[in-house]
Structure 1
Amino acid sequence: MEYETRVVNGVAAVIVPRGRLTMASAPELKALIERAVGAGRTLVVVDLGATAFMDSSGLGALISGLRSTRTAGGDLRIARPTEQVSMVLELTTVDLVLGPFGSVEEALIG
């Protein structure tokens, strides 16, 4: 799993996980979100367009990230989930809490 992180407009962080978001790689996503929040990023967007697979550990990292961002007065949003990731979100009804956006730009606007 590889991650790309970039800052947008000085207040938002976009994190792009590439590969399989599983028990082995989810802790790194959680840490990246926490670092972004710690650096004052009030909005974190996780771009899932390059995430081929996500299991319950990846889902847990997203939920943990949502909790971290909201505790800091911000928000976590997800964008461009792949078909498999969308299925996991729907089966667990997490899509109702983290309504996916069609693009990173839409997620940044909200």
Structure 2
Amino acid sequence: MPTTVTTSESGPVHVVHVAGEIDVTSAAILRDALEALIADGRRRLTLDLTEVTFMDSTGLGIVVGRLKRLARHGGTMTVAAAHERVVRVFTITGLDQLLEIHPDLESAVAAAAAASPRSSAAGGQP
């Protein structure tokens, strides 16, 4: 199954929907989608991994890197992950302490919408 990445909006939240596996061969697609939103001034993101069945360290690195960049601009990111293997990767690495991991997209989007992104001195937009 090829990896697909699409984006959508839900109120003030921009959602990156991923389906398939996130690994060394497909992680660039995810990176590019997140980078484009952050560069465009989007500060409330939800990463929808509910249709992801596998994520390796390359995928985690992409998420952590974009989370750091987003945080520098006063933004926030939540994650929706339903597959046990994907949730476990976040738990084992401790990333569940840095990111809000939700079992479904609706609760992840609601959490991102409730967050209050800050403007940054670097020119970030709320």
TM-score between the two structures when normalised by the length of structure 1 = 0.90
Stretches of structure 2 that go unaligned for 5 or more consecutive residues are 112-126
Q: Number of residues paired by the alignment?
A: 109
- Quote the residue 2:48 is aligned against: 47
Q: Contact 1:46–1:77 at 8 Å: present in 2 too?
A: yes
Stretches of 4+ aligned residues off by more than 2 angstroms: 102-105
Looking at structure 1, the residues matched to 32 and 77 of structure 2 have their Cα atoms a distance apart, in angstroms, of 14
Task: Find the counterpart in structure 1 of residue 117 from structure 2.
Answer: none
Superposition pairs for residues 55-66 of structure 1, below 5 Å?
55-66=56-67
8 A Cα contact 1:78 1:99, kept in partner: yes
Aligned residue identity for 1:38: A
Letter of the 1:31 partner, please give it. D
Displacement, 1:8? 2.2
Percentage of matched positions with identical amino acids: 28
Structure of larger gyration radius: 2
Length-normalised TM-score, structure 2 = 0.80
Does the 8 Å contact 2:44/2:77 carry over to 1? yes
How far apart, in 2, do the equivalents of 1:80 and 1:94 lie? 13
**Considering only aligned residues, what root-mean-square deviation do their CA atoms show, in Å?**
1.3
